[in-house]
């Protein structure tokens, strides 16, 4: 599998709207889409390019939210990422999902799919990762709550909610 780069919004949603129509040949995904307009959304929808949303960065830098509802309505595959860097020092995906629900008005099921299956698609691994299914990598978490939604709406409580982390079918973390 050839690895592809990720594009940033100034390449696709500023003055260079036409680049995104062929972006699937260059990249699986684009990120930093706060300024993305209708033409960019249409181009992502037509090309199958994944829109990677970064709620932590939007929160820390007080950016205008990207047009998430319009992207979803247009059939754009929307993923979530942490954009972990010195500006947005967050690597907890439950926090990222919480911020996506609060700031971007995503539902909890939308945030979960965006952080798992769609994120895998953004990395070119959507056929092998991101979902619990026969033939896929066994990467998942086991929660100690009856409802999975606790992982998202109990802000920063994920360490007390996650009992196990399973990676490739093996326990890599067990909460004691």
Residue 172 within any structural domain of the chain: no
Residue 96 near residue 78 (C-beta atoms within 8 A): no
Give CA 163 to chain center in angstroms: 23
CA 120 to chain centre: 9
Residue 88 is predicted with a pLDDT of 82
Q: Which of 37, 38, 30 is nearest to 11 (CA)?
A: 30
Task: Return averaged pLDDT per consecutive 10 residues of the chain, 176 residues in all.
Answer: 50 48 66 87 90 94 94 98 87 95 98 98 94 93 94 88 95 95
What does the pLDDT read at residue 157?
86
Its domain, for residue 83, covers 5-128
pTM above 0.75, yes or no: yes
Beta bridge pairs of residue 170:
167
What pLDDT is recorded for position 14?
52
At residue 168, the pLDDT reads 92
Alpha carbons 76 and 56: distance in angstroms, whole number: 21
Contact 50, 118 (CB under 8 A): yes
Q: Cα separations (Å) of 154 from 33, 162, 168?
A: 27, 12, 27
- Please say whether the beta carbons of 82 and 60 come within 8 A: no
Find the CATH number of the domain harbouring 80: 3.20.20.140
Residue 23 lies in a domain: yes
At residue 85, the pLDDT reads 85
Structurally, the chain folds into a number of domains equal to 1
Domain membership of residue 58 (yes or no) is: yes
- On whether residue 95 sits in a domain, the answer given is yes
Three-point CA angle 165, 85, 41, nearest 5°: 90
Q: pLDDT value at position 24?
A: 56
Written as one string, the DSSP assignment of 53-114 is E-HHHHHHTTPPPP-HHHHHHTT--EEE----SSSS----HHHHHHHHHHHH---HHHHHHH
Q: Is residue 69 part of a domain?
A: yes
In a domain, 137, yes or no: no
Selection from 115, 44, 107, 49 nearest residue 82 by Cα: 115
User: Is 174 inside any structural domain?
Assistant: no
Res 10: pLDDT: 45
pLDDT score, position 80: 98
Q: Would residue 34 count as lying in a domain?
A: yes
């Amino acid at each position: 599998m050839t690895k592809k780069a990720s594009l940033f919004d100034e390449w696709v949603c500023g003055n260079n709207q036409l680049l995104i129509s062929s972006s699937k040949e260059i990249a699986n995904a684009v990120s930093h889409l706060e300024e993305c307009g209708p033409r960019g959304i249409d181009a992502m929808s037509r090309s199958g390019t994944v829109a990677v949303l970064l709620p932590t960065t939007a929160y820390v830098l007080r950016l205008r939210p990207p047009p998430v509802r319009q992207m979803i309505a247009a059939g754009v595959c929307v993923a979530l990422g942490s954009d972990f860097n010195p500006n947005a020092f967050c690597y907890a995906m439950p926090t990222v999902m919480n911020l996506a629900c609060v700031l971007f008005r995503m539902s909890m099921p939308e945030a979960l799919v965006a952080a798992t299956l769609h994120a895998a698609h953004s990395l070119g691994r959507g056929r092998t990762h991101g979902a619990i299914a026969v033939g896929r990598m066994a990467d998942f978490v086991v929660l100690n709550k009856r409802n999975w939604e606790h992982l998202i709406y109990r802000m920063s409580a994920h360490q007390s909610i996650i009992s196990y982390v399973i990676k490739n079918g093996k326990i890599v973390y067990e909460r004691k």
